[in-house]
Amino acid sequence: MRRVAIASCTGTTIEFYDFFIYGTAAALVFPKVFFPALGTAAGTVASFATFAVAFVARPLGAAIFGHFGDRIGRKKTLVSTLLLMGISTVLIGLLPGAGTIGVAAPLALIALRIAQGLAVGGEWAGATLLATEYAPTGKRGLYAVFPQLGPSLAFALSNGTFLAVNLFVGETSQAFLDYGWRIPFIASALLVLIGLYVRLKVEETPMFARQATRGRRAGAGPLLGVFKSQPRELLVAAGSLAMMFAFFYIGTAYLTSYGTATLGLSRTSVLSLGLIAAAVFCAAIILSAIYSDRIGRRKMVLASCLVAIPGGLVLFPLLDTGSPLAFLAGLAVALVIMGVSYGPAGALLPEMFHTEYRYTGAGMAYAIAGVIGGGTAPMLAAELTSRYGSTAVGWMLAGFGLLSFACALALPETRHRDMEEIGTGDVSRASRPVAETA
């Protein structure tokens, strides 16, 4: 289990590090490097639009890699997603700007961003399955927390890398625009090699191996099987988690731009405060995942969604006081609200789907939630702020909280389920209770 925990946590950290450095660069430099002709405001909107492109690709990645993950195994598929993400990220770091190759630069950027989206779409479900299919019933929330720590560690690593580069080349140096921002992208090649080494040391999950031995039922593949047998679970899970993506990407991507461009904070301050917020975020994920083993996944998700409604409304009035301390508090609030949902999600989604198409089902639910919340929120926030002011972004976040709360009311409780007993029909009736360990 120690090897599984390390492999799942290392892999998601590297994948999301590659994903997040794009968001940081989209906030700090991409408007000037790839969209200089559009001006500051329009360039920022265009930059976040390319950020959103990856979320559109994530369901496709979940379908493609989910198919292979459910057919040939979790381990082989996870190696493929890691390679795709690593190669795409390094190529972004090597991509010339619009001043060198013109319109080909943003077009190539979009293509590579789509590749990143495909990789992340296939990554998350496989990493969580690696943990939950090994974990004993009653402790799945605890073991599923390891892949869930990936985003918080990656956010800290992303901010730390950009901060180090910023301190090296200077806050206002042209060198940051010329080549400094490229260093975190190119350096990810080393992280990918480490991740590959760790993942190749892990065995296939026993639960998948037993399923493969029993053989698959004749008929539709994993994707059609999910939509045919468990469409309700798929849609309810996606709607319940949309809020956490909205809060997360507002916090990790949009607020980086908002803090520097609107609040006038230095790039060094914003990146440094992000490191502190990442530690708080990490603690929220761990505690909520462990606590979900005691009181249930559904209750934790419901609580997070309920708090998100007033939390969204007070976020920007707090930020707009303009002090670094207020920025830290606002960022921490956004990430904690997200973390309370994210912690139990690592066990919740795998527990909702049958082993035969669990990779596809969990991945599709997660990816659809990302499209609804994560793909739209930063782009809409930039547009809403320019038109109506920052208060409108708070109302948007509160709306996401209300949507997810309504969907979470329909979630089944899953913490007592035997994952191998989940049937292909209504999973709320297809599982049997299993004694929970302390």
> Does the structure show a pLDDT above 60 at 212?
yes
Distance of alpha carbon 220 from alpha carbon 207, whole angstroms = 21
Phi, psi values for residue 170, rounded to 5°: 105, 145
Name the least confident of 11-15, 153-157, 337-341.
Answer: 11-15
pLDDT tens digits, 221-272: 778 888 888 899 999 999 999 999 999 889 887 888 899 888 999 888 998 9
> Does the structure show a pLDDT above 60 at 433?
no
Distance of alpha carbon 318 from alpha carbon 331, whole angstroms = 10
Distance of alpha carbon 204 from alpha carbon 361, whole angstroms = 19
> Does the structure show a pLDDT above 70 at 216?
no
Tokens coding 371? 């499209």
pLDDT tens digits, 275-331: 999 899 999 999 999 999 999 999 999 999 999 999 999 999 999 999 999 999 999
Q: Give strand pairing partners of 433.
A: 417
Model pLDDT, residue 219: 55
Name the least confident of 153-167, 318-332, 409-423.
Answer: 409-423
- All residues at 6 or more sequence positions from 91 whose CB lies less than 8 Å from its CB, including other chains: 112
Distance of alpha carbon 292 from alpha carbon 285, whole angstroms = 11
CB 70 within 8 A of CB 356: yes
> Does the structure show a pLDDT above 90 at 18?
no
pLDDT bracket for residue 423 (50, 70, 90): very low
pLDDT tens digits, 104-158: 998 999 999 999 889 988 888 888 888 888 887 788 898 889 988 988 898 889 8
Q: Burial, 174: exposed, middle or buried (Cβ in 10 Å; 0-12, 13-18, 19+)?
A: exposed
CB 364 within 8 A of CB 228: no
Distance of alpha carbon 57 from alpha carbon 30, whole angstroms = 20
Q: Which phi-psi region, left, alpha or beta, contains residue 204 (left: φ > 0; alpha: ψ -120 to 50)?
A: beta
pLDDT tens digits, 65-118: 998 888 888 888 988 998 998 899 999 999 998 888 988 998 999 999 999 889
The CATH class that applies to domain 1-202+223-410 reads mainly alpha
